[in-house]
């Protein structure tokens, strides 16, 4: 009986003792706060600089000088130059076509004969007038006979002048039977062939000069503020006010560039696009690569020199024209800025930042003003 009671009691005492030992030797938990790990962000130390602004546009190449080949006399075409074809090249003064000269040679011969006859009539009138004048001095003729001789002399002089003018016109018409190129260039269009009768004043070809070309470049009015152009300037620009422009195009698998100048602005604003048209002119006489008419080109127009400008990548720009600056305690702070313009992948800032400040250029999904970051300075700044 006693044995039955002692064994369970001993077991209970052992368990109680073991529980007391475990509770006495249990470790004490100390409460602690979790320290957040700052995220790493890329920062750019800003430095003000002078930036040459550029304005970009596009346009098609057009001839600077274009005219129609118009015969000044009528007749049958008896010869055409091999260069009088679409795309044919010619030099200034080259004969492009010739009109049959038979009728004009006959007209020249007739006016030459009329001139010789008028000269003879004038000589006779002069002799008769001198004779009547001599007789009148000796009172051997009447005054009316002297006046008739003077009238005949003046008529003969007028007839000679008329004959000489007709002869000059006949010679001019004969020379106009050769249609010559007014400048060096290319044939854009032609509509004549040998044996065809052409009329005076009817165009037979369209020519354009190859020494210079023009490109009409549409520019938004707000972009004009970045160019060296007075806002009220219209028409041809003075040479010292002509901005430089670089044209580029991909032609025949090659990237080609040409340099030119903005020579004038068109007075009207395009109604549909609200654009101002600037005209760039390129001298192609010394160009290594030809600038073909009709080629579509990109244009970069040099503008003003902006002072104290800070260039940042677009990734640094936050909503409502703000950026995030990393202060001396490595905390992010929102900063309002005044951008000058957005250009390609950059934003040009004209105020709101000081030299040496660090601007966060890393994209952060949920930035919080005052959060601690680990700044990593970018070695290459966007320009």
Give the tokens for residue 286. Answer: 């010394």
CA–CA dist 279, 261 (Å, integer):
8
Long-range contact set of residues 371-374: C-beta below 8 Å, sequence gap at least 24: 371/38, 371/331, 371/332, 372/36, 372/38, 372/329, 372/330, 372/331, 373/38, 373/39, 373/40, 373/41, 373/326, 373/330, 373/331, 373/332, 374/38, 374/39, 374/40, 374/41, 374/330
The pLDDT value recorded for residue 83 is 93
What's residue 296's pLDDT? 94
Cα separation, 112 vs 125, whole angstroms: 20
The pLDDT score that the predictor gives to residue 382 is: 42
- Domains of the chain (ranges; CATH) run 41-50+307-377 (2.40.420.20), 55-63+211-306 (2.40.30.170), 71-100+177-202 (2.40.50.100), 102-174 (1.10.287.470)
- The span from the CA of 245 to the CA of 280, in Å, is 7
- CA-nearest of 210, 229, 300, 221 to 259 is 300
Place of tokens 């430095």: 47
Residues in the chain, how many? Answer: 383
What is the C-alpha to C-alpha distance for residues 68 and 203, in angstroms, rounded to an integer? 6
Cα(324)–Cα(69) distance, rounded to whole angstroms? 67
Assigned token pair, 123:
């000589």
The reported pTM is 0.71
Closest CA to 215 of 292, 303, 304, 270: 292
Please report, in tens digits, the pLDDT of each residue of the chain (383 residues total): 566 666 676 676 667 766 666 676 766 666 656 666 788 888 889 889 988 889 999 999 999 999 999 999 999 999 999 999 999 999 999 999 999 999 999 999 999 999 999 999 999 999 988 888 888 778 777 788 888 888 999 999 999 999 999 999 999 999 999 999 999 999 999 999 999 999 999 999 999 998 899 999 999 878 888 887 766 556 788 888 889 999 999 888 888 999 999 998 887 787 887 888 899 999 987 777 778 899 999 999 998 888 888 999 988 888 778 898 998 888 898 988 898 888 888 889 988 888 888 999 888 888 888 888 888 887 654 44
């Amino acid at each position: 009986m006693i044995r039955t009671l002692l064994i369970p009691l001993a077991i209970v005492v052992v368990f109680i003792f073991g529980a007391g030992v475990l509770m006495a030797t249990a470790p004490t938990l100390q409460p602690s706060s979790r320290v957040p790990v700052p995220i790493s962000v890329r920062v750019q130390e800003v430095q003000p600089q002078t930036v040459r602004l550029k304005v970009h546009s596009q346009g098609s190449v057009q001839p600077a000088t274009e005219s129609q080949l118009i015969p000044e006399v009528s007749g049958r075409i008896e010869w055409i130059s091999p260069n009088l074809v679409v795309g044919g090249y010619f030099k200034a003064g080259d004969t492009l076509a010739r009109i049959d000269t038979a009728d004009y040679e006959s007209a020249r011969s007739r006016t030459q004969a009329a001139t010789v006859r008028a000269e003879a009539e004038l000589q006779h009138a002069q002799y008769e007038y001198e004779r009547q004048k001599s007789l009148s001095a000796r009172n051997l003729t009447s005054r009316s006979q002297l006046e008739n001789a003077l009238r005949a002399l003046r008529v003969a002089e007028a007839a000679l002048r008329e004959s000489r003018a007709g002869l000059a016109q006949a010679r001019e018409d004969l020379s106009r039977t050769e249609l010559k190129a007014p400048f060096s260039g290319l044939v854009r269009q032609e509509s004549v062939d040998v044996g065809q009768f052409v009329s005076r004043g009817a165009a037979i070809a369209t020519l354009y000069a190859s020494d210079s070309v023009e490109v009409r470049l549409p520019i938004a009015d707000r972009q004009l503020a970045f160019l060296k152009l007075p806002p009220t300037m219209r028409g041809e620009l003075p040479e010292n006010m002509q901005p430089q422009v670089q044209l580029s195009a991909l032609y025949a698998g090659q990237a080609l560039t040409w340099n030119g100048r903005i020579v004038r602005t068109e007075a009207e604003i395009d109604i549909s696009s609200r654009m101002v048209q600037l005209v760039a002119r390129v001298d192609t006489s010394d160009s290594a690569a030809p600038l073909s008419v009709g080629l579509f080109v990109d244009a970069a127009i040099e503008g003003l020199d902006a002072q104290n400008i800070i260039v940042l990548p677009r990734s640094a720009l936050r909503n409502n024209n703000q950026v995030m600056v990393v202060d001396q305690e490595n905390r992010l702070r929102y900063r309002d800025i005044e951008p000058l313009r957005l250009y390609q992948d950059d934003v040009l800032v004209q105020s709101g930042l000081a030299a040496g400040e660090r601007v966060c250029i890393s994209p952060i999904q949920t930035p919080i003003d005052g959060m601690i970051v680990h700044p990593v300075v970018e070695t290459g700044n966007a320009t």
